[in-house]
C-alpha cells in the first residue's frame, strides 16, 4: 500500500514528522480494513491512498485498480474517516 501525502505549504521537518506519525497510525488501520474484504494472499501493493493532511481526510487514489476501489469504496469513508482523523495520530 502506498500513501500520497497532500498538503499545502512547504515541506518542513515538522510536517514530515506528522506524515510519519500518521502513516504508522493509518497503515495498520487500513490493513485491517483491507484484510476484512480480501484474502490474506491479495497483493496489497496495488492499493494507493491520498492523505490530505490539511483537510484531515484519507481517500482511495485513482491509482488503485478500479476493481479494488469499487470493492472497498462503499465502507471506506466510514471505516477510516468515520471516527475523528485526529484520533488516528
| Cβ-contact 30, 76 below 8 angstroms | no
pLDDT digits (tens, 9 = 90+) for 12-25: 898 889 899 999 99
Segments in the chain forming alpha helices (H) = 13-35, 66-76
- Average pLDDT on 75-81 reads 94
pTM, full prediction: 0.85
DSSP category for residue 78: I
The span from the CA of 31 to the CA of 75, in Å, is 14
Amino acid at each position: 500500500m502506498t500513501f500520497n501525502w497532500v498538503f499545502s505549504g512547504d515541506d518542513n521537518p515538522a510536517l514530515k514528522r506528522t506524515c510519519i506519525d500518521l502513516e504508522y497510525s493509518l497503515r495498520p488501520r487500513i490493513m485491517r480494513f483491507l484484510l476484512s474484504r480480501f484474502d490474506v494472499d491479495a497483493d496489497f501493493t496495488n492499493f494507493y491512498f491520498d492523505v490530505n493532511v490539511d483537510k484531515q481526510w484519507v481517500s482511495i487514489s485513482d491509482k488503485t485498480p478500479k476493481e479494488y476501489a469499487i470493492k472497498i469504496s462503499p465502507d471506506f469513508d466510514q471505516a477510516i474517516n468515520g471516527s475523528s482523523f485526529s484520533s488516528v495520530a
